[in-house]
A and B are shown apart, each in its own frame.
Chain A
């Protein structure tokens, strides 16, 4: 009896020991920071994946155009340390599967120096791991998702403020200032919609409230009839929404057709100008209700002359695209590019990804030209703070307004 037990014991201890040793000897991380990636004697290759077609295309087109204005301006003046900036834009149609393919192509096939100007929460969430593993700096992202702002995202560098800040601002306006309590939420059923939903729930919870009703719709679909009925089964005063233009415009139009006139709001992601243009084509929405539609913004109005960067963007856009009006999203893309160009310049002529990352993480109080300073730290990957309110005016464009103090 005793002998077999002892041998079992010994074997067990031996096994534990071996596992312990194996556990201690971790495989050393490969250094993936390549020196040569995307850099030649006269160019720096930058890669971007965004929606250039599909239901979110207006965002991608405006975003990349805004960025290109700043980049062309620098290229015209001889580039950065003698290198021209070459921005590659790949279309992902706001579909995560395409974003994954594009990101892999940008890193492996095009061998870009860094990633830039991605659009969307579900799209970015899907490539979060790829970015982390490739250790490739990714700058300027059109998303306000909190999960992408946590400290474990070592290579993402956001400029704009979060959806939580936008929803807190919107709820502050509706609840604290207008005194409304019956808030319904209609959101896209994915990580983007859920982020906005959470933001609203947190803001309401702070005020001892919960949403009176919620419903969802599928990304890329305009089938909102069931949701419409469900939302209006409660006496909603405000409908806060998260999604792209087609379903939101459809929801607002159908609401008015049913004789429902609550206040509507959504976050900056929608792209206010294109949203306004779309809403104006919907005849069922009477002009007198235009002011009831609000979009929270993370950059100032492109017409706001008191901000030097907004003025630069406005002027460059007017010179190069006189037929196309400036936009909030375009300005955001422009500011992202300004940030990128600034850190590229500061990283010096002998450019490496490591230097770029160090410059970004130590960036302190960089004046980007909208009366706000950009700063990052090792633990904070969010550049600026603060939101703006915009509502639709009689001509169908969204202009900033300042809610009265409480």
Chain B
């Protein structure tokens, strides 16, 4: 197509596009205004109306809803053309149509997308011309029905009529402008394209290889300069064309010579490669065989070079060390996770020993593994010699003998414990015997004291009555009264009346106290390891134990009892638990004593015993204001035979036994919180019945 037509077409097209766009914009604005009005006012009203219909709809109050719809319709003048309520089964439940329901209504859509609170549709059927606002009737997230509100179309259009007129006049003016523009465009494009057409013809001749053709244009505008530029280009292109043809020929001969040389070299290289590959395969196969034998051993095995680097290790050794890559791994890293050379003064180095003796060697080695558990291993090492009889490598194998060692130690412990138990039992029997012997006399002493105390009170009352009577009869006999008074004073009756009951009360307290100690001794000596689990009152157990151990703590500490009176019974072997309590209380007293000694303090410390309940268990806490536990001891205090007390004062058994009893026998928990210089609190829990 010629440019002049293109120009014209483009300009026409642009004008048409602008007009259409403007028209569209205005129509859209018009629609937007209508919809916005619906959205802001009517849709919100519809939603709030829908909210009031929830309960009546659920309770299916048809009359109530119909009345509500009718009232709404009446209030809205002509704005609302109809109101319909559908129920959750998409059946019409109530409506405002006075005559027949139009068929269109049955096609209304009652489903909503998630988050959609209302929807506005344009209804244009023979029966209904209106905007339909659909609003869901929701209870929570559940749709129980739908409200449709028809907004009369005439009502909406009336509000927008001035805008519509403006749109129409705009379209008319756009048609006029495009007519004038079209004429002007045609004129301009004709003058512009005349010279261009001639230039085009000449360029066509050039492109066909005709460098001789010529052109003449007699004007001074941009087209003339364009023609001159074309002419210059023509001469330069002709020159370059000839030179290129000559160079092309030279290049071709050089390339063919080089290609032949390269092919020759390539063949030689290929031949070498095949030989090398075969050698490598053989070597790899041998390595694999060795590795298979090595891996088959079920204990860790490493081969160590003289510079302590690892030459080889089997799967078990990899498992032990967690090291996969052998590069630059030293034997101490692989075997013990050390980062430095083993110190010769603390650890016997198999490598050094073997170099010295040139003989195989077996040794034991103890270290902490990655989980900080003590591990004992047996190392068997033997040398590998080279042709000159020099040691080049050693082979080390490792056997974990931790359990074996522990078993040996445990046997030893068990034996000691049995001895101790036997001793305790005999002491217990003795205590029980003594308690029984004391119990009998104490009982009648107690009974007699009770009797005496009561009798004394009665006696004093009798005396008082005598005195009242005497007073009545001797009112006129001064002499007799004086003598009575004298007798009273000489006999210190007043003093005796006051002091005797007090003295007896004190005696009773004393007897009660002795009884308690005896009872506690009896209770305590019942301690026996094959005791049955049963529900027991831990508060009582604490009281008993406190009585027994009173001597241990009463000079060192004041006691605070914080016992929960509603504490449920705990399922336990009571004797064992008393033993634990005793150990903890005695430890607390010792800790306080030590601190007082250290600080030269005269003030007493405090032991606080608390019991509390939580779901499914009870908790006992024994807090002291003693020395506290040193940080480095914290991890070991439950170990057997670990003690920080002076020699002869502690056996190191108390806490380990407590741990055994609480954790292993009763399945409870035992733990502590401690701060050095402030004190320690031990806690344990027991399950309730």
Q: Which A residues are within 8 Å of any B CB, using their own CB?
A: 1-2, 4-6, 8-9, 189, 194, 197-198, 200-202, 205, 210-211, 214-216, 230, 301, 303-306, 311, 399-400
Asked if residues B172 and A305 are in contact (CB atoms below 8 Å), the reply is no
Which A residues touch B170, using CB under 8 A? 5, 8-9
Known: A2-B173, A216-B55. Is A305-B619 also a contact (CB below 8 A)?
yes
Tell me whether B173 and A198 are in contact (CB under 8 A). Answer: no
> Are B139's CB and A1's CB within 8 A?
no
Please, how many angstroms separate the alpha-carbon atoms of A189 and B56 in the complex?
A: 14
- Do A198 and B140 touch across chains, with their CB atoms under 8 A apart? yes
Interface stretch among B211-219, B515-523, B609-617?
Answer: B609-617
Q: Using a CB-CB cutoff of 8 Å, which residues 510-536 of chain B contact chain A? A: none
- Alpha-carbon distance A216/B54, docked complex (angstroms): 11
Q: How far is the CB of A207 from chain B (nearest CB, A)?
A: 14
The CA of A9 and the CA of B171, in the complex, are separated in Å by 12
A230 — which chain B residues lie within 8 A by C-beta?
59
| Contact B166–A8 (Cβ < 8 Å) | yes
A301 and B615 contacting across the interface, CB-CB below 8 Å: yes
B99 at the interface (CB under 8 A from A): no
Q: How many Å from the CB of A285 to the closest CB on chain B?
A: 25
* Smallest CB gap from B612: residue in A: A305
For B22, give the chain A residue with the smallest CB separation.
A9
Say yes or no: A305 contacts B613, CB within 8 Å. Answer: yes
Question: How far is B170's CA from A306's CA once the two chains are assembled, in angstroms?
Answer: 81
A selection of 15 A-B contacts at a CB cut-off of 8 Å is: A2-B176, A4-B169, A5-B169, A5-B170, A194-B140, A197-B139, A210-B142, A211-B142, A214-B139, A215-B55, A230-B59, A305-B612, A305-B613, A306-B614, A399-B615
Q: Please measure, in the bound complex, the distance between the C-alpha atom of A301 and the C-alpha atom of B59, giving whole angstroms.
A: 40
- The closest CB in chain B to the CB of A304 belongs to B614
Q: A214-B58, A305-B619 are in contact. List 14 more A-B contacts (CB 8 A).
A: A1-B169, A2-B176, A2-B177, A5-B172, A8-B170, A194-B140, A197-B140, A201-B140, A210-B142, A211-B142, A214-B139, A304-B614, A304-B615, A399-B615
State how many angstroms separate the Cβ of B27 from the closest Cβ of chain A: 15
Q: Which bucket holds chain B's interface residue count?
A: 10 to 19
Q: Which residues of A contact B176 (CB under 8 A)?
A: 1-2
With A2-B176, A230-B59 in contact, is A198–B141 under 8 Å at CB? yes
7 smallest beta-carbon distances between A and B, as pairs = A305-B614, A5-B173, A197-B140, A198-B140, A201-B140, A201-B141, A305-B612
Q: Which of B58, B140, B176 has the most CB of A within 10 A?
A: B140
- The CA-CA distance from A211 to B55 in the complex, in Å, is 15
Q: How far is the CB of B668 from chain A (nearest CB, A)?
A: 13
Judging by beta carbons under 8 Å apart, are B55 and A1 in contact? no
- Contacting residues, chain A, for B615 (C-beta < 8 A): 301, 304, 306, 399-400
Residues in B608-662 with C-beta less than 8 Å from chain A: 612-615, 619
Q: Can you name the residue of chain A whose Cβ is closest to the Cβ of B59? A: A230
A273→B615 CA distance, assembly (Å)? 18
Query: Which chain A residue lies CB-closest to B564?
Result: A305
Set of chain B residues within 8 Å of A2, measured between Cβ atoms: 173, 176-177
Write out the residue numbers on chain A whose beta carbons fall within 8 Å of the beta carbon of B169.
1, 4-5, 8
> CB-nearest residue of chain A relative to B173?
A5
Report Cα–Cα, A303/B166, bound state, in Å. 78
In chain B, positions 130-155 with a C-beta closer than 8 Å to chain A are: 139-142
**Complex Cα–Cα for A145 and B615 (A):** 30
Q: Which residues of B contact A304 (CB under 8 A)?
A: 614-615
Closest residue of B by beta carbon distance from A187: B140
Give bound CA distance, A234 to B612, whole Å.
47
**Interface core residue of B58, B141, B170, B619 (most chain A CB under 10 Å):** B141
Q: How far is A303 from B566 in the complex, measured between Cα atoms in Å?
A: 12
List residues 454-484 of chain B with CB under 8 A from any CB of chain A: none
Verify B614–A303 contact, CB threshold 8 A: yes
0/1 interface trace, chain B 176-189, chain A, CB 8 Å (1 if under): 11000000000000
Q: Which residues of A contact B177 (CB under 8 A)?
A: 2
A12 to B, closest residue via Cβ: B166
Is the beta-carbon distance between A202 and B141 smaller than 8 angstroms?
yes
Q: B residues within 8 A CB of A400? A: 615
Hey, which chain A residues are within 8 Å of B172, CB to CB? 1, 5
**In the complex, chain A residues whose CB is within 8 Å of the CB of B612:** 305, 311
Q: In the complex, which residues of chain B have a beta carbon less than 8 angstroms from the beta carbon of A5? A: 169-170, 172-173
Q: Are the CB atoms of B173 and A6 closer together than 8 Å?
A: yes
A residues in contact with B139, CB < 8 Å: 197, 214
The chain B residue with its CB closest to the CB of A195 is B140
Closest to A306 in B: B614
CB of A201 within 8 A of CB of B59, answer no
The distance in angstroms between the C-alpha atoms of A5 and B168, with both chains bound, is: 10
Q: Bound complex: CA of A2 vs CA of B141, how far in Å?
A: 57
- Tell me, rounded to whole Å, the shortest Cβ–Cβ distance linking B55 to chain A: 6
Cα(A400)–Cα(B176), bound, Å: 85
Q: How distant is B496 from chain A, measured CB to nearest CB, in Å?
A: 44
Most buried by B among A1, A6, A301, A305: A305
Tell me, in angstroms, the Cα distance from A305 to B169 when the chains sit together. 84
Cα distance A311–B683 in the bound complex, in angstroms: 15
**Residue in B closest to A185 when the chains form the complex, CB atoms:** B140
Give the shortest distance, in Å, between A243 (CB) and chain B (any CB): 15
B618 to chain A, nearest CB (A): 9
Q: What residues on A are CB-neighbors of B619 within 8 Å? A: 305
Chain A residue nearest to B26 (CB atoms) is: A12
In the complex, chain B residues whose CB is within 8 Å of the CB of A215: 55, 58
Closest to A189 in B: B55
Q: Which residue of B lies closest to A193 (CB)?
A: B140
- Kindly provide the distance from the CB of A340 to the nearest chain B CB, expressed in whole angstroms: 27
For the complex, what is the distance from the CA of A216 to the CA of B139, rounded to whole Å? 11
Look across to chain B and name the residue whose beta carbon is closest to the beta carbon of A226. Answer: B59
Given contacts A1-B173, A5-B173, contact A303 B613 (CB under 8 A): yes
Q: Which residues from A are CB-within-8-Å of B142?
A: 201, 210-211
CA of A214 to CA of B140 in the docked complex: distance in angstroms? 11
Complexed CA–CA distance, A306 and B172 (Å): 85
Q: Which residues of B contact A198 (CB under 8 A)?
A: 140-141
Interface string of B153-171 (1 = CB under 8 A from A): 0000000000000100110
Cβ of A350 to closest chain B Cβ, rounded Å? 33
Give the docked Cα–Cα distance between A9 and B614 (Å).
Answer: 82
Q: How far is the CB of B139 from chain A (nearest CB, A)?
A: 6
Measured in the bound complex, the distance between the Cα atoms of B139 and A178 in whole Å is 26
Chain B residues near A205 (CB, 8 Å)?
141
Smallest Cβ distance from A364 to chain B, in angstroms?
Answer: 26
Q: How far is the CA of A211 from the CA of B140 in the complex (A)?
A: 11
Q: Which residue of B lies closest to A233 (CB)?
A: B59
B residues 593-614 touching A (CB-CB < 8 Å): 612-614
Q: Which residue of A lies closest to B55 (CB)?
A: A216
Query: What is the minimal beta-carbon distance from A309 to any residue of chain B, in angstroms?
Result: 14
Q: Which residue of B lies closest to A210 (CB)?
A: B142
| A205, closest chain B residue (CB) | B141
Q: Which chain A residue shows the least CB distance to B171?
A: A5
B54 CB to nearest A CB, Å? 9
Residues of A within 8 A of B613 (CB): 303, 305
* Nearest CB in chain B: distance from A16 CB, A: 11
How distant is A394 from chain B, measured CB to nearest CB, in Å? 15
With CB as the reference atom, state the residue of chain B lying closest to A8. B166
Q: How far is the CB of B121 from chain A (nearest CB, A)?
A: 28
Q: How far is the CB of B166 from chain A (nearest CB, A)?
A: 7
Measured between beta carbons, the chain B residues less than 8 angstroms from A399 are 615
CA distance A9 to B140 in the complex (A): 50
In the assembled complex, how far is the CB of residue B25 from the closest CB belonging to chain A, in whole angstroms? 10
Interface hits, B249-291 → A, CB 8 Å: none
Closest B residue to A314 using CB positions? B612
A194 to B613, CA, bound (A): 39
Q: With A and B bound together, what is the CA distance between A9 and B166 in angstroms?
A: 10
Query: With A and B bound together, what is the CA distance between A399 and B59 in angstroms?
Result: 37
The distance in angstroms between the C-alpha atoms of A256 and B77, with both chains bound, is 51
Residues in B neighbouring A6, C-beta threshold 8 A: 173
CB distance from B168 to the nearest CB of A (A): 11
Nearest chain A CB to B653's CB is how many angstroms away?
30
Give the chain B neighbours of A311 by CB distance below 8 A.
612
A306 vs B619: C-alpha distance in the bound complex, in angstroms?
Answer: 9
B517 smallest CB distance to A (angstroms): 33
